[in-house]
């Protein structure tokens, strides 16, 4: 359970950095508290999308992983971020990613920041 909380906090932090750095990734809210809760909920959706959908997409695109020496990972991460944006729209969460190339850059930022935060945060159960 502690590992799940740490990963969610890392995802929320990484998403916050992406929102802060990129103008076309937006998170709106009336107050800072509402934005924080929305960010945590978006991090949960993002974690769920990565847990359920990403492995299936990776299996289906395995030949492309070999052909591109793993660079297709950037596209897969972008698609997961766009899917998160779509699900958040359906759940009436105020998180939006505008465009594929913004999602590629956002996915790269989220991957780097999440990796750094997971290195710093404890992950023992």
pLDDT, greater one: 83 or 114 = 83
* Percent of the chain with pLDDT strictly greater than 90: 70
Q: What is the pLDDT at residue 122?
A: 73
Model confidence at 120, pLDDT cuts 50, 70, 90, reads: confident
Q: What is the pLDDT at residue 123?
A: 65
Calpha distance 85→72 (Å, rounded): 20
Q: Is pLDDT at 124 greater than 80 in this prediction? A: no
Residue 31 DSSP label: S
Q: What is the pLDDT at residue 1?
A: 65
Calpha distance 69→52 (Å, rounded): 24
Calpha distance 24→36 (Å, rounded): 19
* Cβ proximity of 97 and 27 under 8 Å: no
Burial track 84-116 (b if 16+ CB lie within 10 A, e otherwise): bbebbeeeebbbebeeeebbbbbbbbbeebbee
Q: How many CB atoms lie within 10 A of CB 60?
A: 10
pLDDT in tens, 26-78: 998 888 889 999 999 999 999 999 999 999 998 999 999 999 998 999 999 99
- Residue 15 in tokens: 């998403």
Least confident of 48-62, 92-106, 110-124: 110-124
């Amino acid at each position: 359970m502690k590992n799940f909380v740490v990963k969610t906090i890392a995802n929320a932090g990484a998403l916050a950095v992406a929102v802060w750095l990129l103008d076309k990734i937006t998170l709106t809210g009336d107050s800072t508290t509402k934005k924080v809760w929305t960010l945590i909920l978006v991090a949960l959706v993002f974690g769920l999308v990565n847990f359920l959908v990403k492995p299936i997409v990776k299996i289906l695109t395995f030949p492309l992983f070999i052909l591109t020496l793993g660079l297709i990972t950037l596209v897969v991460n972008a698609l997961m971020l766009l899917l998160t944006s779509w699900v958040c729209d359906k759940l009436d969460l105020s998180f939006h990613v505008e465009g594929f190339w913004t999602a590629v850059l956002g996915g790269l930022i989220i991957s780097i920041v999440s990796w750094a935060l997971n290195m710093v945060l404890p992950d023992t159960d």
